[in-house]
Amino acid sequence: TDGGENWTDQAVGPPFDGNNGGTSFLSGENHLIGDYIGISASPTIAYMAWADTRNGSPTARNSDIYGARMQFA
């Protein structure tokens, strides 16, 4: 690599509307989609988790939980 001098934009999934998630099942209040993002990493591996509303709509509000694992060289 070049030490972060150059970057390439990469789409990681379809776009989604964070407003399609609905309200919290705990409090009934609206929450920000960024409240539900997490990462845990070691020197060789990282695990990510996030909430995503790509399966929702303004009338059928739906949030799903996604996760990914990344191995480092």
> Under a CB-based contact definition with an 8 Å cutoff, are residues 20 and 27 in contact?
no
**pLDDT for the residue 68:** 92
User: Are 51 and 64 contacting, i.e. CB atoms less than 8 angstroms apart?
Assistant: yes
Q: How far is residue 31's CA from residue 34's CA, in Å, rounded to a whole number?
A: 9
68 vs 52, which has greater pLDDT?
68
- Tens of pLDDT, residue by residue over 4-39, are 788 887 766 666 666 666 555 555 565 566 666 889
User: What is the C-alpha separation between 17 and 6, in angstroms, rounded?
Assistant: 29
